[in-house]
């Protein structure tokens, strides 16, 4: 479904992605592992067009995405949920969710997707008229994920959804992602630092190092020792 | 009490004028030094249309429509042809400041060439006055107050209720957030310039009917707008509106008790005091 080939990118003179290639099948959950600063977040930003890649190709069902602006990529059905969340903090939860359906892809299904978001995270229904600046870290994370789904995406790119959350909230977030994948049929590409959570969710794992794929394994085959080695 | 009414009228005019400046700043972080001249240009466009021999009623409606049309094209074109290019560079903040400053000077001299240095004004809507419980008030003044408040309310409704207005607020709060929900940020910038310039042009007509216009007065309006939006917390519309009414009232009372020579000293000293006491603006820390 999503085919990334020899992707190059970085920030100014700093090259972060060196000919990185990977693929994600329809309906899969794939996790990206690897040390910080080795290209995981940069890869998601490149796919979503938020920080465009400088070379290589990104195909979604055979259609080239590289070079398209971010809003066009949202229209093609890819939603990116950044680690920083990037919420509109002075707006309410409801307004944030409505903006998630801003484009022509999401707008016709606004009511249905709003309903779906509140079912996914019932707590957001209670908080719908609250300003996002006043939410807890966990709730803000829920808004970010729910807002991403409002566009009617078929592929969700999630950057460290559980970072900084308590174990209970981590579980809530992971159950939501599993539900998004199982019941809504949405493909997920996920950056996760914690191996345990990554293996629990994902069918396949890519380990990145120095902006390249170090290796790829199915979750069943992977040895925690080889992942640990990648970090040193 | 009559002074309060004239203070509120001035305040509403200043608020209507400053709203466009604060919208452009809030969304694009471009501070537009040519803002006052944009307002004056709107007034001159209406003045031209009024001079074509239409009656006053039809003329002011047609003139306002013409001003809106000119301003939409001007704002949109300015963004597409110039500001957009400047924003992609390093040091865009300084580049856009210098650019709009140069534009202000250019507009001033073009207006001078086109209209000459003589003072002009939009005719008052009506000369009558009405006796209220505290004394006589010009009907024109009340109409201007009403129209300015209606203009500000319309801007508020647009930003709250329409999809484009919501997107403008979203961009002003987080550009990365706006990109990831699929907002075409560059297009929203262009809409913002067009929309804010149209509002500013209309406010210029109201100002031109109450005070007067010359090719140079744009500087005064821009500086007043700058003080208002700094007072109100940069980019915060409610703050700017409150600040405009406050400064309008101050101006009315200073004129009454000390004379109009003291208007600028009063504005500027309040500005300096506000910067020292609350540099974040009077409304900072509250909801936008």
Q: Could you report the per-residue pLDDT of A131-182, keeping only the tens digit for each?
A: 999 999 999 999 999 999 999 999 999 999 988 899 999 999 999 999 999 9
Name the residue in chain B with its Cα closest to that of A70: B179
Quickly list DSSP for chain B.
Answer: -HHHHHHHHHHHHHHHHHHHHHHHHHHH----TTHHHHHHHHHHHHHHHHTTT--HHHHHHHHHHHHHHHHHHHHHHHIIIIIHHHHTSTTHHHHHHHHHHHHHHHHHHHHHHHH-SS-B-PPPS---EEEETTEEEEHHHHHHHHHHHHHHHHHHHHHHHSHHHHHHHHHHH-HHHHHHTT--HHHHHHHHHHHHHHHHHHHHHHHHHHS-B-TTHHHHHHHHHHHHHHHT-TT-HHHHHHHHHHHHHHHHHHHHHT-GGGHHHHHHHHHHHHHHH-TT-TTTTS--
Give the residue among B37, B30, B46 at the shortest CA–CA distance from B219.
Answer: B37
| Residues contacting residue A168 through CB under 8 Å, at least 6 positions apart | none
Of A75, A82, A98, the CB nearest to B180: A82
Of A71, A87, A107, the CB nearest to B179: A71
Number of A–B residue contacts, CB under 8 Å: 70
* 8 Å CB contact of B166 and A99: yes
Of all residues in chain A, the percent with pLDDT exceeding 90 is 76
Residue B202: pLDDT above 80? yes
pTM: 0.91
Distance between CA atoms of residues B229 and B240, nearest Å: 5
pLDDT of residue B104: 96
Distance between CA atoms of residues A208 and A40, nearest Å: 7
Question: In the predicted model, what is the mean pLDDT of residues B62-72?
Answer: 97
Of A82, A100, A105, the CB nearest to B176: A82
Give the residue among B28, B12, B34, B59 at the shortest CA–CA distance from B155.
Answer: B12
Residue B287: pLDDT above 60? no
Q: What are phi and psi for residue B235, nearest 5 degrees?
A: 85, 0
Listed by start position, the domains of chain A span 2-230
pLDDT, tens digit (0-9, with 9 covering 90-100), for A159-172: 999 888 999 999 99
The fourth-level CATH superfamily of domain A2-230 is: P-loop containing nucleotide triphosphate hydrolases (3.40.50.300)
Question: In the predicted model, what is the mean pLDDT of residues A66-89?
Answer: 94
Q: Mind telling me how many Å the CA of B237 is from chain A's nearest CA?
A: 13
pLDDT of residue B286: 41
pLDDT, tens digit (0-9, with 9 covering 90-100), for B98-145: 999 999 999 999 999 999 999 998 888 888 888 888 778 889 999 999
pLDDT of residue A128: 95
Residue A221: pLDDT above 90? no
Residue B147: pLDDT above 60? yes
The interface pTM score, or ipTM, of the predicted complex is 0.90
pLDDT of residue B128: 84
Distance between CA atoms of residues A174 and A189, nearest Å: 13
Name the residue in chain B with its Cα closest to that of A132: B287
Residue B146: pLDDT above 90? yes
pLDDT of residue B131: 84
pLDDT, tens digit (0-9, with 9 covering 90-100), for A94-129: 999 999 999 999 999 999 999 999 999 999 999 999
Distance between CA atoms of residues A206 and A227, nearest Å: 10
Residue B282: pLDDT band with limits 50, 70, 90: low
Of all residues in chain B, the percent with pLDDT exceeding 70 is 97
Question: In the predicted model, what is the mean pLDDT of residues B2-13?
Answer: 93
pLDDT of residue B125: 83
* 8 Å CB contact of B166 and A98: yes
Residue B284: pLDDT above 60? no
Question: In the predicted model, what is the mean pLDDT of residues A73-97?
Answer: 95
Residue B159: pLDDT above 90? yes
């Amino acid at each position: 479904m999503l085919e990334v080939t020899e992707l190059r990118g970085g920030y100014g003179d700093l090259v972060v992605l060196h000919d990185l290639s990977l693929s994600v099948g329809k309906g899969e959950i794939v996790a990206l592992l690897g040390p910080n600063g080795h290209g995981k977040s940069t890869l998601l930003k490149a796919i979503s067009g938020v920080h465009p890649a400088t070379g290589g190709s990104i195909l979604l069902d055979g259609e080239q995405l590289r070079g398209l602006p971010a809003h066009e990529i949202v229209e093609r059905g890819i939603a990116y949920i950044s680690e920083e969340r990037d919420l509109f903090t002075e707006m309410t939860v409801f307004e944030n969710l409505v903006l998630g359906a801003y484009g022509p892809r999401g707008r016709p299904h606004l009511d249905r997707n709003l309903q779906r978001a509140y079912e996914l995270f019932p707590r957001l229904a209670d908080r719908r008229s609250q300003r996002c600046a006043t939410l807890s870290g966990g709730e803000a994370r829920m808004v970010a994920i729910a807002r991403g789904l409002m566009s009617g995406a078929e592929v969700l790119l999630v950057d460290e959804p559980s970072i900084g959350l308590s174990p209970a909230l981590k579980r809530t977030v992971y159950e939501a992602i599993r539900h998004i994948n199982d019941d809504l049929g949405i493909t997920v590409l996920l950056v996760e630092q914690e191996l345990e959570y990554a293996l629990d969710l994902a069918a396949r794992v890519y380990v990145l190092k120095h902006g390249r794929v170090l290796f790829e394994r199915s979750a069943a085959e992977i040895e925690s020792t080889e992942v640990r080695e990648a970090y040193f | 009490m009559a002074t309060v009414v004239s203070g509120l009228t001035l305040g509403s005019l200043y608020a209507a004028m400053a709203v466009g400046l604060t919208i452009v700043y809030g969304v694009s972080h471009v501070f537009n030094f040519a803002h006052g001249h944009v307002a004056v240009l709107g007034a001159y466009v209406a003045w031209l249309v009024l001079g074509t021999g239409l009656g006053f009623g039809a003329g002011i409606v047609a003139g306002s429509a013409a001003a809106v049309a000119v301003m939409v094209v001007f704002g949109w074109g300015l963004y597409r042809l110039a500001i957009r290019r400047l924003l992609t560079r390093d040091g865009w903040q300084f580049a856009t400041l210098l650019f709009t400053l140069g534009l202000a000077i250019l507009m001033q001299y073009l207006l001078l060439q086109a209209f000459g240095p003589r003072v002009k004004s939009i005719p008052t809507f009506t000369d009558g006055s009405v006796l209220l419980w505290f004394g006589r008030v010009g009907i024109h003044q009340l109409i201007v107050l009403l129209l300015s408040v209606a203009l500000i309310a319309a801007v508020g409704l647009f930003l709250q209720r329409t999809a484009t207005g919501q997107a403008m607020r979203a961009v002003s709060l987080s550009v990365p957030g706006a990109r990831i929900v699929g907002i075409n940020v560059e297009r929203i910038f262009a809409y913002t310039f067009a929309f804010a310039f149209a509002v500013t042009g209309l406010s210029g007509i109201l100002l031109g009917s109450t005070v007067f216009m010359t090719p140079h007065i744009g500087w005064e309006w821009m500086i007043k707008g700058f003080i208002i939006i700094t007072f109100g917390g940069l980019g915060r519309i409610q703050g700017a509106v409150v600040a405009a009414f406050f400064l309008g009232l101050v101006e009315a009372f200073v004129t009454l008790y000390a004379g109009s020579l003291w208007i600028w000293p009063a504005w500027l000293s309040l500005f300096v005091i506000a910067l020292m006491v609350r540099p974040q603006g009077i409304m900072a820390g509250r909801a936008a």
